[in-house]
Chains A and B, each alone.
Chain A
Amino acid sequence: MAERMLIEPDLKFIKDVGIVGGEDVKKCYQCATCSVVCPISPDNKPFPRKEMIATSWGLKDKVLKSADPWLCHNCGDCSTRCPRQAKPGDVLAAIRAQAIIEYSRPRWLAEAVNDPKKLPILIAIPVFLFLVVGSITGLLNFRPDLSGGIAHYKFFSTWLVDMHMVPAAIFAVAVFAMGLKRFIADIHQNALDEGKTDKQTVEVGGFIQALVRVIPTILKHNKFSECTENKERYVAHLLTFWSFVGLFIVTSIIFLVLYGSYLLPTGPLHGPWSQLNPVKWLANLSGIALIVGTAIMIKARVNKPDQKSAYKDWFLVYLAFALGVTGMGAQLTRLAGWAEVSFAVYFLHLIAIWFLIAYLPFTKLAHLVYRTVAMAYAEYAGRKFTP
């Protein structure tokens, strides 16, 4: 038997979890219905029953430093079946939100991102950067010559774009790297304490292999398809997920082509690309997928009041939605020939992108990193997790 745990309830943690959607956790009377109805919970030390009591007892470390809350795909089956309406699904979501804050540095930024009052400032930052740097460097041109047709780079130089986006990306990666280091160490220790694994250490090779094994599951969204509750989330999440993949590919190609083409005698190849270009097809396809996917999510959240949606949820879906709409909007207005409007929309689009990249480790979207790692660890640790 694992050694005796000294109980020191953290009342603030219970409160914090409540704020981000887990306020019903205390209604739980430990019947363990949730652990049984969960389609993906393992047989050995299943969740979320144990997370429910640990949270209602304010045992912060026990829940934040565990991989299990990340294995949950928030399908909502447990919340629907809970005889006490304690909403285990929402509680796990709240725990994940807390974990993201816990593992991301700087802490103040993490808290700011999850605090609605700070939103204006967060938006002000990129706006300010773009305008100031743009006007100093002159890379932001409000009176561009549009004789060769409307092109966004004439208004907002690609240099200007990338001198903001690239550092933001590097920053995000760094934050994740620091977080994951602690995260992996913690979830392994927790697995040992709770007897969820027989692996004594986390050795890199095995872990990578495990990662490779779970990737297909993630790409195929198998876990979601097991959901009996809100099925539409499966489609929505799949669309959104793949749209991001698509857009990532498109952006990368354009990035390479652009800076590669500087070597060409003809000079750099700037957009817009022809609508006949397959890359363009992929771009548009992904754009539409993103808009549709996020739209479904918003609709779903509005229609499911029993599933509590916190600021963190709205924050992300709206951001992603905005990303899609502004992107698509910038293109359509350009084709329509409304230069000013198009430039304005494009400006918003850029803000959205920067926003997404720079704040990525602090938003709910960080789950794509933590969950992937957690799933990989579960696979590695031998939690009979894959169905």
Chain B
Amino acid sequence: MTDEKAAPVSGSIMVVGGGISGLTTALEAAEVGYEVFLVEKNPYLGGRVAQLNQYFPKLCPPTCGLEINFKRIKDNPRIKVLTMAEVEKVDGGPGNYTVSVKVRPRYVNENCTCCGACTEACQTEIASDYDFGMKKIKAAYLPFAMAFPARFVIDPQIVKTEDGKRVKEACRYDAVELEMQPKTIKLNAGAIVWATGWVPYDANKMDRLGFGKHPNIITNMMMERLAAPNGPTRGQITRPSDGKAPASIAFVQCAGSRDENYLPYCSYICCMASLKQTTYIRKQYPEAKIYIFYIDLRAPGYRYEKFYDTIKQDPNVVFIKGKVAEVSEDSATGNITVVAENAVTGEKIQQSVEMVVLATGMQPTAAVQKLPAAVKTTADGFILNDYAAGGMFGAGCAHKPADVVSSNQNATGMALKAIQTLVRR
């Protein structure tokens, strides 16, 4: 065996989306030896997992794996990362695509040292998307402490204001460029992997579940932020209405998922996520009562079943087979009453709790924002992969609802499918 049998390293791969799936596809392909463009619409990489407090079932921080992945990027010049960038148009075919990528202005250039002077100078406050609006941040900010790339961002709304000037003056490394303009660049790629991920399903759509009407009803993703040390409450799980430590919490499973009126499919992660979140609560409130209302508890496989089993040992975690279909608020206390039928006992339950977590599901980004390319999707927006045709592939949750484990598997495989497209030429 000699070198000419080596995989021909020619052409580059574009990965759209810098979440865990996109990172994985990009890194795995680059470490084989291919040039990769990693295009991310946020100012930072990491996507959804960057917003999580812990992974199930190991209860370890996602930033641990992310840090290693970021290190792999730093050590690998083959990966070109574009943040605040979105694909606008895709021309050409497998092996030879021309991709127009629109890059939004960050208003901060590579001179940024992350000293933080701009944030101090800035007076305007904006709601943090990263924290689902539960926190106000300055309009000149670092998305989060571990953000990669470690570079500040300036919100467009202050660019033409006094605040903009203040921020610019505050920077001693002329990193602030208020005249920065959006630009569109053309890139060539032999294959494109769409790792565009998912958005939490909009809980306002479930009119009977009271989200948006009653402050003490939150979503599971909001719970992740509440529990995170770098979250809006520095990790303290408290009620939005009055900051009270909740003595009782109800988890509403399948909030939108497995429901023909909303998302007909199962979102895969919500059951395990809620089980995981009971550990967040238990860690802070040893006495808190926790109620989990479910249709089926989906903790499949040796490891997940084992995890579920440990949660069951907790006498203050109560499981009820029955979907919550009605909620009401006691305006005096802000407490919430959830109603369900325990299908095993045939009793209707009116459970009053201090806080409710809606286990909302995942919706592929393509369902809310059409992909600018000719890729087939399911009725619900999941990308269908045609390996025979090759060229473009969906990876991770853009392809199907999945947990982090499955997303990483899938994303690694898609790196190979992309490489095959290049090799085939």
Q: Do chains A and B touch in the complex (CB under 8 A)?
A: yes
- Which residues of A pack against B, CB within 8 Å? 29-33, 35-37, 41-46, 49-50, 81-85, 194
Per the bound structure, the CA–CA distance linking A43 and B258 in Å amounts to 25
The residue that A30 contacts in the complex, of B260, B324, B343, B348, with Cβ under 8 A, is: B343
In chain B, positions 91-133 with a C-beta closer than 8 Å to chain A are none
Closest 5 CB pairs of A and B: A83-B259, A36-B325, A32-B341, A31-B323, A43-B348
Residues on the A chain within 8 Å of B325, using CB:
32-33, 36-37, 81
Q: How far is the CA of A43 from the CA of B261 in the complex (A)?
A: 25
Q: Could you give 27 example pairs across A and B, Cβ below 8 Å?
A: A29-B258, A29-B295, A31-B254, A31-B295, A31-B323, A32-B322, A32-B323, A32-B325, A32-B342, A33-B325, A35-B341, A35-B348, A36-B323, A36-B325, A36-B326, A36-B339, A41-B348, A43-B347, A44-B346, A44-B347, A45-B346, A46-B346, A49-B343, A50-B346, A82-B260, A83-B259, A85-B260
Give chain B residues whose Cβ lies under 8 Å from the Cβ of A33. 323, 325
What is the bound-complex CA distance between A345 and B323, given in angstroms? Answer: 55
A313 to B254, CA, bound (A): 35
In terms of DSSP, what is the predominant structure of the interface of chain A?
A: loop
- In the assembled complex, the Cα of A50 lies from the Cα of B258 at a distance in Å of 20
B340 at the interface (CB under 8 A from A): yes
Residues of B within 8 A of A50 (CB): 346
How far, in angstroms, from A46 to B341 measured CA to CA in the complex? 8
Would you call B376 an interface residue if the criterion is a C-beta within 8 Å of the partner chain's C-beta atoms? no
Residue of A nearest to B296 (CB): A29
Instruction: Assess whether B80 is interfacial by the CB under 8 Å rule.
Output: no
A36 touches B347 (CB 8 A): no
Interface of B is mostly: loop
Instruction: State the Cβ distance, A129 to closest chain B Cβ, in Å.
Output: 50
Given contacts A30-B295, A31-B343, 7 further A-B contacts (CB under 8 A): A31-B322, A36-B323, A44-B346, A46-B346, A46-B348, A83-B258, A194-B346
Complex interface: chain A residues within 8 A of B342 (CB):
32
Interface membership of B213, Cβ < 8 A: no
Interface size on B, residues (CB 8 A): 21
Give the complex CA separation of A44 and B347 in angstroms: 5
A79 to chain B, nearest CB (A): 11
List residues of chain A with CB within 8 A of the CB of B339.
Answer: 36
Indicate whether B208 reaches chain A with its CB closer than 8 angstroms: yes
Q: Which of A36, A44, A85 contacts B340 (CB 8 A)?
A: A36
Most buried by A among B254, B326, B348: B348
In the complex formed, the residue of B with least CB distance to A45 is B346
**Min C-beta distance of B43 to chain A, whole Å:** 38
Give Cα A33 to B322, complex, Å.
8
CB distance from B322 to the nearest CB of A (A): 5
Which residue of the partner chain B has the closest CB to A196? B346
Contact A32 B340 (CB under 8 A): yes
CB contact under 8 A between A32 and B208, given known A37-B326, A43-B348, A83-B259: no
By a CB distance below 8 angstroms, the chain A residues around B261 are 81, 83
| Other-chain contact of A36, B295, B346, B348 (Cβ < 8 Å) | B348
Write out the residue numbers on chain A whose beta carbons fall within 8 Å of the beta carbon of B258: 29, 31, 83
> Do A49 and B341 touch (CB < 8 A)?
yes
| List of B residues within 8 angstroms of A83 by Cβ | 254, 258-262, 323
| Docked complex: B318-343 residues within 8 A CB-CB of A | 322-326, 339-343
Q: Mark B238-262, 1 if CB is under 8 A from A, else 0.
A: 0000000000000000100011111
A89 to chain B minimum Cβ distance, whole angstroms, is 15
Residues from chain B with a CB closer than 8 A to the CB of A37 are 208, 325-326
Q: Give B262's nearest chain A residue, CB to CB.
A: A83
Complex Cα gap A35–B323 (Å): 10
In angstroms, Cα B344 to Cα A45, docked, is: 10
- Complex CA–CA separation, A33 to B262 (angstroms): 14
- Which chain B residue has the least Cβ–Cβ distance from A35? B341
Name the residue on B nearest A30 (C-beta): B343
Residues of B within 8 A of A42 (CB): 348
* Chain A nearest Cβ from B345, distance in angstroms: 9
CA distance A33 to B326 in the complex (A): 9
CB contacts (< 8 Å) of B326 on chain A: these are 36-37
A35 to B342, CA, bound (A): 10
Assembly CA distance A45 to B295 (angstroms): 18
Greatest chain A CB density within 10 A among B208, B259, B262, B324 is at B259
| Residues 340-390 (chain B) with a chain A CB within 8 angstroms | 340-343, 346-348
Tell whether, in the assembled complex, residue A36 and residue B260 are in contact, meaning their CB atoms are under 8 Å apart.
no
Task: For residue B210, give the distance in angstroms from its CB to the closest CB of chain A.
Answer: 14
Smallest Cβ distance from B292 to chain A, in angstroms? 14
Residues of A within 8 A of B324 (CB): 36
CA distance A50 to B262 in the complex (A): 24
Contacts of A29 in B (CB 8 A): 258, 295
Whole-angstrom CA separation of A29 from B259 in the bound complex = 11
How far, in angstroms, from A41 to B339 measured CA to CA in the complex?
13
Nearest chain A CB to B73 CB, angstrom units? 42
Closest chain B CB from A165 CB (angstroms): 46
Query: Once bound together, how far apart are the Cα atoms of A83 and B263, in whole Å?
Result: 9
Contact with A along B13-57 (1 / 0, CB 8 A): 000000000000000000000000000000000000000000000
Query: Contacting A32 at CB < 8 Å: which of B260, B262, B343?
Result: B343
Give the shortest distance, in Å, between B192 (CB) and chain A (any CB). Answer: 36
**Is the pair A84, B340 in contact by a Cβ cutoff of 8 Å?**
no
User: How far, in angstroms, from A29 to B260 measured CA to CA in the complex?
Assistant: 12
A82 CA / B326 CA spacing, docked (Å): 13
With A35-B348, A46-B346, A46-B348: A84-B260 Cβ-Cβ less than 8 Å: yes
Q: A44: which B residues are within 8 A, CB to CB?
A: 346-348
Residues from chain B with Cβ under 8 Å of A85 in the complex: 260
Chain B CB within 10 A, most for which of A36, A43, A44, A50 = A36
**CA of A103 to CA of B323, assembled, Å:** 35
Residues of A within 8 A of B323 (CB): 31-33, 36, 83
Q: For the complex, what is the distance from the CA of A37 to the CA of B323, rounded to whole Å?
A: 11
A259–B295 alpha-carbon span in the complex (Å)? 65
Task: Report the Cα distance A42→B347, complex, angstroms.
Answer: 9
Contacts of A82 in B (CB 8 A): 260
- B259 contacts A36, CB within 8 Å? no
Residue numbers in B under 8 Å from A46 (CB-CB) = 341, 346, 348
CB contacts under 8 Å to A, within B248-283, are: 254, 258-262
Q: In whole Å, how far is B77's beta carbon from the nearest beta carbon of chain A?
A: 50
Report chain A residues within 8 Å CB of B341: 32, 35-36, 46, 49
Q: Interface centre among A35, A37, A42, by most B CB within 10 Å?
A: A35
CA distance A31 to B325 in the complex (A): 9
Chain A residue, CB-CB nearest to B261: A83
B254 proximity list for chain A (CB < 8 A): 31, 83
Q: Which has the most chain A C-beta neighbours within 10 Å: B324, B326, B343?
A: B343
